[in-house]
Structure 1
Amino acid sequence: MQRVVPFDPSSDKLIRLDFTSKNTELTDEIVNDTTLFSAYIDHKIQSHTYGIGGYDEHRTVYSRSKVFDTGEEPRRLHLGVDIWGKAGTPVYAPLEATVHSFAFNDQYGDYGATIILSHGTFYTLYGHLSLKDLDGLYEGKPIKTGERIAHFGEPAENGHWPPHLHFQLINEMGNHRGDYPGVCKFSEREKYLQNCPDPDSILQMIQYV
């Protein structure tokens, strides 16, 4: 199985990043300013290859966008793994696939450029990509194991986040195309985690933190 991002456990270093209320360093001022937020991430990972984490994490950072407001209970529980690094970092298909769908989810706080691959019995979602990576795609396009499919996007094209990849496994897509919730209400945690298992089963990276 191909690595989703270039990572050599013998030489590369990972740091786990925490975006819950326990992280008191991450103030509202930082979270609500993409430039400050990006500088914060850069500082945290400066002596590492990537920052990583976030699966089943109840995050306070989603208060930065109305995309996550859903009435009385906002969406705050993260359903994927985030890999934080430099814009332009390549992204590879870990397994043979076809393109299920893709979209430019261009709202503040959303995925930005997004690709979803079908692997027959499950799907993988790649969010916060470079917009140019959507060029030439079509639904049903065959993708080889290890094929470069995308790159980490800049904030202007990735939903206005510091550069990173949101990687998510999905068992059933339902009617979703080019999009699928990457964050859910805590009250719906069990339902969504059942449909979105831990992406590290494919990434195999958390063990190196």
Structure 2
Amino acid sequence: MNLSKLLAEAGISAVQPIRFGSGEFCQLDLSKNNPSLERIDLNDEEQFTAQVFGQLKANGARVGIGGYLEERGLYSRSELFTEDEPRTIHLGIDLWAQAGTAVYAPFKGVVHSFDNRRFHGDYGPVIILEHEEAGLTFYTLYGHLSTMSLHGLYEGKPIRKGEQFASLGAYHENFHWPPHLHFQLIMNMEGFHGDYPGVCKASEKGRYLQNCPNPEFIVMAGIH
């Protein structure tokens, strides 16, 4: 099954409005191989935020994109990820942008579930949408949102394709991350509600790769 082809034929709207030819976005590297991350305290809001947005400024970009299956050492700053085998593999794509930046639905759908996961390193406000397109049922997850994004939500609430339904949260909201969207494609929620792992262990990479395909084609489809 060529998922990207099927969904492209169904039509994909922008998750965030970015103009492809304008240099508005750049790739960001938050992998364990980036030596610049070793020189800062990732639990220091000012240092971490300055690192991310300094890269955007250096590239003349408004949005930083990247992270799918990126192996990251930065999760060691939170007990959420430090198990016997630490979780280090990022399962979504991050779009780093200013707090308050609008988030739009790439497909029509309904609110599957939502939560405010207030634990250091977690999503903070998170919304999961359920979609039915091209004979498929699948889900998109949006993490690190503003608390206002949860106001008025209810499970089953219809969301139109292209509708702004959320915005990016600030550091203290999203929960201790510089402002960004964690965007993840999920084929089976596996019983999760208001949550789904956004980072996995290296030993689990194969299984999660099947259930969380690369969502880059959705993000890039909305770039003009």
Out of 144, 148, 153, the position equivalent to 1:132 is 148
Query: Which has a greater percent of helix?
Result: 2
Give the CA RMSD over aligned residues: 1.6
- Residues 107-140 of structure 1 show CA distances to partners (whole Å, capped at 9, x for unaligned) of 0100000000000310000000000110000000
State the alpha-carbon separation in 1 of the partners of residues 222 and 120 from structure 2: 28
Aligned 8 A contact 1:200 1:206 in 2? no
Q: How far did 1:10 drift?
A: 2.7
Q: How many residues align?
A: 207
State the alpha-carbon separation in 2 of the partners of residues 195 and 84 from structure 1: 24
Provide the residue aligned with 2:189 in structure 1: 173
Out of 68, 82, 93, the position equivalent to 1:81 is 93
Q: 1:28/1:176 Cα in 2 relative to 1: closer, same or farther (>3 Å)? A: farther
Aligned 8 A contact 2:104 2:163 in 1? yes
Deviating 4+ runs (over 4 angstroms): 205-208
Aligned residue runs from structure 1 range 65-144, under 5 A? 65-70=78-83, 72-120=84-132, 121-144=137-160
Provide the residue aligned with 1:30 in structure 2: 41
SS of structure 1 residue aligned to 2:47: helix
SS of structure 2 residue aligned to 1:129: coil
Provide the residue aligned with 2:77 in structure 1: 64
Q: Please tell me the residue identity of whatever aligns with 1:48.
A: A
Structure 1: unaligned runs, 5 residues or longer? none
Q: TM-score, normalised by structure 2?
A: 0.89
Out of 163, 166, 169, the position equivalent to 1:150 is 166
SS of structure 2 residue aligned to 1:45: helix
Provide the residue aligned with 2:215 in structure 1: 199
Aligned residue runs from structure 1 range 33-52, under 5 A? 33-46=44-57, 47-52=60-65
Out of 12, 19, 22, the position equivalent to 1:8 is 19
Structure 2: unaligned runs, 5 residues or longer? 1-11
Aligned 8 A contact 2:20 2:223 in 1? no
Q: 1:24/1:205 Cα in 2 relative to 1: closer, same or farther (>3 Å)? A: farther
Q: Please tell me the residue identity of whatever aligns with 2:77.
A: R
Aligned 8 A contact 1:169 1:196 in 2? yes
State the alpha-carbon separation in 1 of the partners of residues 159 and 188 from structure 2: 20
Aligned 8 A contact 1:55 1:81 in 2? yes
Out of 58, 66, 85, the position equivalent to 1:53 is 66
Aligned 8 A contact 1:107 1:159 in 2? yes
State the alpha-carbon separation in 2 of the partners of residues 105 and 25 from structure 1: 29
Q: Please tell me the residue identity of whatever aligns with 1:148.
A: Q
State the alpha-carbon separation in 1 of the partners of residues 32 and 106 from structure 2: 33
State the alpha-carbon separation in 1 of the partners of residues 127 and 167 from structure 2: 11
